[in-house]
Structure 1
């Protein structure tokens, strides 16, 4: 009798361990699925004109707020893409009253930001962009929860398709890391959108 009870106890223990192992495996699989990022999915965005440039002004990945400038992006690849595009647009078009907010809210501290702010303070920008560029697609060349590099494919009138890398860092939000003058990359002309995820504006 004692031997039978011991056998049953061992069997019960094995069943419990097996069940726990199964539950742990399911939880691990669910966690891995939640943590899987899709670098090839474009933001599900609403596009509109920003100073004459068509941009994804609203999506499920942000921005959550547009006052005084867009901010509040999801910590996702799509949030980084949103921040990259809107950051480029606002850097180029912010008027004399708004550009300090662009610098403080949309960019990360560093030499590049300081140089951009110094140069921007010496010029006046207002109105809409004539013959604006058009964002055609993106490629995420590097991504983690803390850093991202988004290569934007943009078509410029009279130039054609170009590729330009935008570096971002997570500091409570996705912020642009502006390159210093001596490290700024050039626009690279490209022949097609091969390798890029195309936008559906």
Structure 2
């Protein structure tokens, strides 16, 4: 199933979220590859499009504490988002790949169809925390690796998500 957050559709399933599914900071993902992928997709979308009033709660709840999270927050405060993403501009998640998985850490490729019909894959890492959920782990501040890559075709092994309505 799909929920909507700030104009962007976010996938949900039996693997999560189990808590606050229709609110800005849903939690409660299964400790599986699918649970990790859903948590990574949700946190990545939410931190990317949350408005000025919502982003601190999103980042504080769904992103692992780190110097990278602190730096991201400093940068985010310098811009303003007050409106949801217009429907005709919203990216659509079409699937994901599980690049690596252990019960404590997973790296996921989030495959997205952009509004101009191009396709991208965003790499996201989540870590299982003591409180019993996956948190998005932002790359180190000095990391120069591009987490987003353009795609011509969906990657082999992509787990396709159903179309959102």
The within-5 A match list for 1:92-107 is 92-107=48-63
Segments of 5+ residues of structure 1 without an aligned counterpart are: 1-45
Larger Rg: 1
TM-score, normalisation: structure 1: 0.71
- Tell whether the 8 Å contact from 1:95 to 1:124 is kept in structure 2 after alignment: yes
- Partner SS state of residue 129, structure 1: coil
- Structure number with the bigger relative contact order (C-alpha 8 A, sep ≥ 6) is 2
In 2, Cα distance between equivalents of 1:129 and 1:118 = 22
Give 1:190 shift: 1.3
Q: 1:162 aligns with which of 111, 120, 123?
A: 120
CA distance in 2, matches of 1:160, 1:100: 30
Assess, with a 3 A threshold, how the Cα gap between structure 1 residues 186 and 59 changes in structure 2: closer, same or farther: closer
2:70 to 94, 101, 114: 114
Alpha-carbon offset, residue 186 of structure 1: 4.0
C-alpha displacement of 1:167: 0.6
For the Cα contact (< 8 Å) 1:80–1:148, is it kept in 2?
Answer: yes
More strand by share: 2
TM-score scaled by length of structure 2: 0.86
Q: 1:139·1:197 contact (CA, 8 Å) conserved in 2?
A: yes
